[in-house]
Structure 1
Amino acid sequence: MAHTSRVLKSEWTKVRSVRSTVWTLALALVVTVGLGALICVLTNNEFDDMSTRDQLTFDPTYVSFAGMGLGQLAMIAFGVLVVSAEYSTGMIRNSLAAVPQRGTFLLCKVIVVGLLVLVVGMVTSFLTFFLGQSLLGDHGASLGDDGVLRAVIGGGLYMTLIALFSVGIAFILRSPLLTFGILMPWFFLVANILGSVSATKKVAQYLPDQAGTTVMSVVPETLDRPYGPWEGLLIMVAWTVVSLAAGFVVLKRRDA
């Protein structure tokens, strides 16, 4: 236990001592809240011009999370940097020499990253919601409305899972350029394209981001999915677990 606590302290020191990781978390908050607020302002101004169907199926909670698409990229960057920075600088050799139990090393990194991102994600999610609803005016929702609290908490969990998923991928690929080159275009462009094309839509809805964002939806018509909000989040949890498990296998079998 004492050994594990020292490893946890070491991982915490690594995270807070690297300026880029701190900035990526701050960027995730600012981008998510700022873009969500802008979309809410525009939506409120154009609400009366929306069709009757769109007004009836309007989901103010989900609209406030419109900035999550860009905010998640910062969370992905954070997850990649906390791993790839050690490989690119060669620090990973010192880390594994100090902690030869690679399972303990990975677990402690996941715990530190997960708890930190969970706090930032929850703050971001609640701030995004409250600011967005105030800007939507009479069209906004209340935290006490059905499904709203679940959606807001789900927003924080989503950001946490996307970062941990990226940690697993970074351990598999080890190269920051390769990891960024795959994850960034995939989540920013490819997954959205696959989700909008009828031929691939049925498969794309089970991708981590497509499934995970379901938890932030309150009105069922907002997202056309064959599963509910919590089921969607569980699909993303499964992706994250697989990613971390694969990362552990690579970490255990390959030299630093």
Structure 2
Amino acid sequence: MASFPAVLQSEWTKIRSVRSTAWTLALAFVVTLGVGVLASVFTAKDFRAPGPGETPFDATAVSFAGMMLGQLAIIVFGVLAVGNEYSSGMIRVSLAAVPQRATLLLGKCAVLGGLALAVSLVTAFVSFFAGQAALGDHGTTLGEPNVLRAVFGAVLYLTMLCLFAAGVTAMLHNQTLALGLLVPFFFLLSPILSIVPYAKNVARYFPDYAGSRMLAVYEPADQPYGPWAGFFICLAWTVAAVAGGILVLKKRDA
């Protein structure tokens, strides 16, 4: 019976040996930062103050304008970190070494979550400070109400998306299928449904929409719930995906 620390060490070694995982994490940082800075520069040049009755200008949201592309990179990281074992056949070796399948997947998720958390923490804070510098006089600070909470919300959101993607990949046993499902869902289907009448009432409870509530400094009146509810909805999706991955891993052959 393999101990959990030994599983963590093994999973860390496996993830370090796959070059694509490092590239996807680096891409998440570069894309989120780059798009956020560009959006901040253009906003500062063509700034228009909100009128009476409009939602106040959210400088934090502008610096996180690259989050949609960055989240795709973190999703790809989660998919590849799990899916590479299935595509290479290494999953059989892993299961031979760690017969406790729940322990194996939880160990992998712990390592993935730790890496995603570290990269997301750097990405969120660097993107925020760079964006506010580009906004100049229109920027904000971490000391303003709800700003620090929104920045940490971005960190948790990206981390949970990574684990959600890992859980879905474990359920599907196929990284190509997982990417073919998750990328269109987060990049096309969910954003489209969120603006379609009637369908948007369902789409508001998708993980990406719930996660976006965590990043909001100001809450428009038409939002069905606030940042903390968004956190728990996103967390529920993540837990369900990982639990589903464990269940499938126990029931199906590698």
Q: What TM-score range do you get, normalising by the shorter chain?
A: over 0.9
Aligned to 2:162: 163
Question: Once the 2 structures are TM-superposed, how far is the Cα of residue 202 of structure 1 from its aligned partner?
Answer: 1.0
Query: 1:53 & 1:87 partners in 2: Cα distance?
Result: 56
Indicate yes or no: 2:117 matched with 1:118.
yes
Which AA in structure 2 matches 1:204? A
Which AA in structure 2 matches 1:58? F
Query: 2:11 & 2:232 partners in 1: Cα distance?
Result: 27
Query: 1:7 & 1:56 partners in 2: Cα distance?
Result: 48
Query: 1:55 & 1:45 partners in 2: Cα distance?
Result: 21
User: Is the contact between residue 88 and residue 175 of structure 1 (CA under 8 Å) also seen in structure 2?
Assistant: yes
Aligned to 2:84: 85
Aligned to 2:19: 19
Query: 1:14 & 1:163 partners in 2: Cα distance?
Result: 17
Aligned to 2:140: 141
Q: SS state of the match for residue 52, structure 1?
A: coil
Which 10-residue stretch deviates more, 196-205 or 51-60? 51-60
User: Is the contact between residue 35 and residue 67 of structure 1 (CA under 8 Å) also seen in structure 2?
Assistant: yes
Distance 1:127 1:54, change over 3 A: farther
Aligned to 1:109: 108
Query: 2:140 & 2:16 partners in 1: Cα distance?
Result: 36
Distance 1:53 1:86, change over 3 A: farther
Question: Once the 2 structures are TM-superposed, how far is the Cα of residue 23 of structure 1 from its aligned partner?
Answer: 0.3
Indicate yes or no: 2:249 matched with 1:251.
yes
Question: Once the 2 structures are TM-superposed, how far is the Cα of residue 199 of structure 1 from its aligned partner?
Answer: 2.1
Aligned to 2:219: 220
| Count of matched residue positions in the alignment of Structure 1 and Structure 2 | 254
Question: Once the 2 structures are TM-superposed, how far is the Cα of residue 219 of structure 1 from its aligned partner?
Answer: 1.2
Distance 1:54 1:75, change over 3 A: farther
Question: Once the 2 structures are TM-superposed, how far is the Cα of residue 53 of structure 1 from its aligned partner?
Answer: 5.1
Q: SS state of the match for residue 143, structure 2?
A: coil
Report the structure, 1 or 2, having the larger helix content. 1
Q: Give structure 1 stretches of 5+ with no counterpart.
A: none
Query: 1:220 & 1:189 partners in 2: Cα distance?
Result: 24
Question: Once the 2 structures are TM-superposed, how far is the Cα of residue 224 of structure 1 from its aligned partner?
Answer: 3.8
Distance 1:56 1:215, change over 3 A: closer
Query: 1:51 & 1:78 partners in 2: Cα distance?
Result: 38
TM-score (norm 2): 0.96
Q: Give structure 2 stretches of 5+ with no counterpart.
A: none
Which AA in structure 1 matches 2:129? F
- Cα RMSD between the aligned structures? 1.5
Give matches, 1:195-214, under 5 Å.
195-214=194-213
Identity percentage over the alignment? Answer: 55
Distance 1:224 1:122, change over 3 A: farther
Which AA in structure 2 matches 1:115? G
Query: 1:162 & 1:170 partners in 2: Cα distance?
Result: 12
Indicate yes or no: 2:172 matched with 1:173.
yes
Q: Deviations over 1:51-91 (max 9, x none)?
A: 62597621111111110000000000000001110000000
User: Is the contact between residue 47 and residue 55 of structure 1 (CA under 8 Å) also seen in structure 2?
Assistant: no
Query: 2:50 & 2:117 partners in 1: Cα distance?
Result: 38
Question: Once the 2 structures are TM-superposed, how far is the Cα of residue 158 of structure 1 from its aligned partner?
Answer: 0.5
Q: What is the aligned counterpart of 1:232 among 223, 230, 233?
A: 230
User: Is the contact between residue 122 and residue 156 of structure 1 (CA under 8 Å) also seen in structure 2?
Assistant: yes
Q: SS state of the match for residue 14, structure 1?
A: helix
Q: What is the aligned counterpart of 2:239 among 232, 241, 245?
A: 241
Aligned to 2:43: 43
User: Is the contact between residue 55 and residue 218 of structure 2 (CA under 8 Å) also seen in structure 1?
Assistant: no
Question: Once the 2 structures are TM-superposed, how far is the Cα of residue 213 of structure 1 from its aligned partner?
Answer: 1.1
User: Is the contact between residue 2 and residue 97 of structure 2 (CA under 8 Å) also seen in structure 1?
Assistant: no
Q: SS state of the match for residue 196, structure 1?
A: coil
TM-score (norm 1): 0.96
Query: 2:140 & 2:197 partners in 1: Cα distance?
Result: 32
Q: Deviations over 1:11-45 (max 9, x none)?
A: 00011110000000000000000001111111111
